Structure 1
Amino acid sequence: MFRKAERKQAKLRLALCGPSGSGKTYSALLIAQGLAPGGKIALIDTERGSGELYADLTAYDVAPLNPPYTPTRYIEIIKAAESAGYDVLIIDSLSHAWTGEGGVLEMHDRATSASRSGNSFAAWREVTPHHNALVDAIIGANLHIIVTMRTKTAYDMVDDGKGGKKPVKIGLSPVQRDGMEYEFTTVVDLSVESHVATATKDRTRLFDGEHFVPTPETGEALRDWLMTGKDPVAESKAILKTLKASASKVKNVPDLTKWWRGHGADIAQLTAADREALAAHCSDRKLAILEAESKVQNDVPDFDQDDEIRGNGQDHDAGGIDAGVPTH
């Protein structure tokens, strides 16, 4: 049940949060450069073309996403980016999936209106699975993902260095479902003033107590941290090879079912592709077992056929090889 904890190589899940003008898209592209030098970068643009304003900064591909901003449409593009072999996907921005036209809040309003009771709490039971599916797609994708999220905006009065005060735009909580930030490896808040970044959550511990301006070097530092540890793909392949050999030795279908259940901990360590490969292998093994059992049954004659073959309609004496077997 338990096993020794080990660091494994991982894909980045980074959230850049800030009000309009804080440099979220620009910072995301700079970090992506360092995260995957020479790699393929893709960007989901929900900002009506603004995602292409930085085409001179680095090479990247854009997937424009216009309304409706349903979770399903985000999921489709995430899977397409993964299938196309991109190294980094920037989702700019994830806030539209929550508050945008066709987003989760609008889906909830429609579900509430459609219900007889008009119970908004009950409507969440219908809508929440769509949001959860989007979160799962982000977490499970086999590429680095950087998302931008708008923050609710407020103003604070700060010292202008001349003995007076000036209003400065500050960001508050991200425009997304409460607790969404906990799904990410690192969450960074960006200020409008000088685009200074502050990590509000950081599992890497690279930015504890730091205030910095994102650069490609930020991505390089994250890449180095992510690559520390065992290669999960290579480890998954080794586990898959062992599991296939073990499953091939199982002799009947009930034991094959027990085998799958008994190796749940090992199966959980496989990549999604290797889990599918193991499932296909076990399906093939099941068919082979059933075909072998069917062949054995077909090779065994029934009682009448056996009797007819042995006796051939003739009597045998008591000392014959079929002594004691009834004859016709």
Structure 2
Amino acid sequence: MFKKAERKQARLRLALAGPSGSGKTLSALLLATGLGGKIAVIDTEHESASLYAEYADFDVMSLGAPYSPERYIDAISSAEAGGYSVLIIDSYSHEWIGAGGCLEINDAIAKQKYKGNTWSAWNETTPRHRKLVDRILTSPLHIICTMRSKTETVQGEGKKIIKLGMKSEQREGSDYEFTVVLDLVHDGNVAIATKDRTRIFDQPEVISADTGRRLIAWLNDGKKQDEHGAEAVNEAISKIPVAETMQELQSIYSAAYRIAEQMPEPLARLNAAKDKRKAELTEAA
């Protein structure tokens, strides 16, 4: 059924991409400060985020290798359980290119099961990466991901050497998952929008806390999130009675639970529907 489109309140999904030294971590922290609320940082950059503790009030989790999608998912769950409002993933690139990340996972699967055929191995690696993407998209937190960019050095005016960020070091097409993608230029730490559904970044700018305040104003300028959440929970409740397997039931329930957990009445109805269908499936088995 079609219905009139309306913009609802939303959670931020923003990517900051740039070469080494372009200011990704500090920009993310300043932006998060402007968004408001408790800030958590998943730090895969050898505790580099803590170097900026004077600029923002935040808690940090140091995440070392292996950088598997599952470890990122567990870290996101910890941030949600900790009552944070904003999560910075610094850096999202490690899940793809880091030790124990998707590229290494795929090579290992190819050698173990497909006689070195990496193309076939992606049938197993891609779903694991996709689970992380889905986790980021469905989280109730505002999420900011930093991504490394492959660097190219060029000579500017006056023979000045300039670092330019090229392609982001993540899976091809990862930019599509974000509301805003900002490329940071090494010279001056200026952010340039390569994708912007907010239409806030019509000009290059240096990221500050005010950037975050402008974003939160845009995110909150829509239909009340509780109304949107109740609609999503009601839709899940309508799907639960026709779930054919425990796995399908769990998938429907988990997605709706993250929305309903702060709404007692919808949560009670969701749990009742889930328990009833679980009992029916158990009996049928």
TM-score by length of 2: 0.85
- Determine helix, strand or coil for the equivalent of 1:76: helix
2:16 matched to 1:16? yes
Gaps of 5+ in 2: 243-252, 261-265, 281-285
Aligned to 1:307: none
CA distance in 1 between counterparts of 2:29 and 2:278 reads 50
In the TM superposition, what are the counterparts of 1:158-177 in structure 2 within 5 Å?
A: 158-160=156-158, 165-177=159-171
Aligned to 1:281: 272
Contact kept in structure 1, 2:241 and 2:277, CA below 8 Å: no
- Determine helix, strand or coil for the equivalent of 1:128: helix
Gaps of 5+ in 1: 248-255, 259-266, 290-328
Q: Sort the Cα spacing of 1:283 and 1:202 in 2 relative to 1 into closer, same or farther, 3 A.
A: closer
Q: Sort the Cα spacing of 1:96 and 1:285 in 2 relative to 1 into closer, same or farther, 3 A.
A: closer
- Determine helix, strand or coil for the equivalent of 2:52: coil
Contact kept in structure 1, 2:114 and 2:120, CA below 8 Å: no
Aligned to 2:247: none
CA distance in 2 between counterparts of 1:78 and 1:214 reads 24
Aligned to 1:71: 69
2:184 maps to a residue whose letter is: L
Contact kept in structure 1, 2:107 and 2:116, CA below 8 Å: no
CA distance in 2 between counterparts of 1:197 and 1:240 reads 37
Percent of matched pairs sharing the same residue? 48
In the TM superposition, what are the counterparts of 1:39-78 in structure 2 within 5 Å?
A: 39-78=37-76
In the TM superposition, what are the counterparts of 1:19-168 in structure 2 within 5 Å?
A: 19-36=19-36, 39-160=37-158, 165-168=159-162
CA distance in 2 between counterparts of 1:287 and 1:55 reads 47
CA distance in 2 between counterparts of 1:168 and 1:237 reads 50
CA distance in 2 between counterparts of 1:230 and 1:117 reads 53
- Determine helix, strand or coil for the equivalent of 2:92: coil
CA distance in 2 between counterparts of 1:51 and 1:90 reads 10
Highest RCO, 1 vs 2 (Cα 8 Å, sep ≥ 6): 2
Q: Sort the Cα spacing of 1:25 and 1:178 in 2 relative to 1 into closer, same or farther, 3 A.
A: same
CA distance in 2 between counterparts of 1:95 and 1:288 reads 42
CA distance in 2 between counterparts of 1:73 and 1:193 reads 34
2:137 maps to a residue whose letter is: I
Aligned to 2:206: 213
CA distance in 2 between counterparts of 1:180 and 1:144 reads 17
- Determine helix, strand or coil for the equivalent of 2:80: helix
- For these two proteins, the number of residue pairs brought into alignment is 265
Larger Rg: 1
Q: Sort the Cα spacing of 1:73 and 1:4 in 2 relative to 1 into closer, same or farther, 3 A.
A: same
Q: Which has the higher helix share?
A: 2
Q: Sort the Cα spacing of 1:114 and 1:226 in 2 relative to 1 into closer, same or farther, 3 A.
A: same
2:86 maps to a residue whose letter is: V
- Determine helix, strand or coil for the equivalent of 1:101: coil
CA distance in 1 between counterparts of 2:163 and 2:278 reads 65
Deviation at 1:242, TM superposition (A): 11
2:205 matched to 1:226? no
Instruction: Give the RMSD, CA atoms, in angstroms.
Output: 2.8
